[in-house]
Amino acid sequence: MTTTPDEGVIKYVSHWTPGAPLEESELTELMAWRDRMHQAQHIGLYPNGIGYGNISLRRSTHSFAVSGTQTGHLAHTTPHHYTLVDTWDIDRNTLHCTGPIQASSESLTHAALYDYSSAIQAIIHIHNRPLWQRGQGVLPTTAASVPYGTPAMAYEMIRLLDCSDLMQTRILIMAGHEEGVLVFGPTLAAAAQVLYQHID
C-alpha cells in the first residue's frame, strides 16, 4: 500500500481550544467501537507511519465527539484521544474543537453528514482495500478527483446524499482517498453492521 504524502494531514483550518476530555461515560461506546475497528485493522497505521480511519458520534444538533488526529497507531484509546467538534463552516474550510487533542483530519466530512440529516448519529471511516476496489461505482462513490478532508469532499457527501440511495445504503466509497470507506447510521452498532454486511 502506498499513500500520498499528505495522507493523515489536516487540510481544513483547525481552531483548537485545549481542554479537559469528555466524561468517560459519554465515550464508552465510541471507544469500544473504535478499538474493535483497530483490532480488525480497519483503523490503524501504515508501515510508513501514516495513520488511517476515524470514528464519531453526534452529541447534539451542532456538535459531535470524534477521534483525534494521529491516533491510528493506538490499540486502545482513552477519553484523552477524543475531542468535541462544536462549530464548523464548510464554505470557509474551518472547524473548531475543544478537548485534549485536535480533531481527525476527516472531521469536516463528518460535519457535512451530520449537517445533512438528524438520522445520521454515528459515522465510521475505515480503510479496506478489497471493499474499496469492489465497491467503486457499485456503491455510492465520490469522484476520484476529490481529496479527503476538504470542502470538496464535504460537498461530495451532500451530492451523493441528494443524488443516490446513500441514505438507504449508508455506505460510500471514497474513490480519491485510497482504501477509504465510510459508513453511518443511527447508532455506532448500526453503522458497523452496514460495514460487516459488505466485507468478505
Q: 45 in a domain, yes or no?
A: yes
| β partners of residue 161 | none
Domain holding 26, by residue range, is 13-198
Q: 113 in a domain, yes or no?
A: yes
Rounded to two decimals, the pTM is 0.94
What total of structural domains would you count in the chain? 1
| β partners of residue 71 | none
Q: 1 in a domain, yes or no?
A: no
Q: 140 in a domain, yes or no?
A: yes
By 3-state DSSP, what share of the chain in percent is helix, strand and coil, each rounded to 5? 30, 30, 40
Q: Is 124 exposed, middle or buried (0-12, 13-18, 19+ CB in 10 A)?
A: buried
Cβ–Cβ < 8 Å for 172, 181:
yes
Cα dist from 111 to 13, 45, 66, 68, 152, whole Å: 14, 24, 10, 14, 13
Q: 3 in a domain, yes or no?
A: no
Per-residue pLDDT of the chain (200 residues; tens, 9 = 90+): 333 445 557 888 889 999 999 999 999 999 999 999 999 999 999 999 999 999 999 999 999 999 999 999 999 999 999 999 999 999 999 999 999 999 998 999 999 999 999 999 999 999 999 999 999 999 999 999 999 888 999 999 999 999 999 999 999 999 999 999 999 999 999 999 999 999 96
Q: 5 in a domain, yes or no?
A: no
The CATH number covering residue 19 comes to: 3.40.225.10
Residue by residue, DSSP assigns 93-144 as: TEEEEEESSPBPTTHHHHHHHHHH-TT--EEEEEE-HHHHHHHBTTB-EE-T
Q: 4 in a domain, yes or no?
A: no
Q: 6 in a domain, yes or no?
A: no
| Long-range CB contact pairs, 160-164, < 8 A, 24+ | 161/113, 161/116, 161/117, 164/140
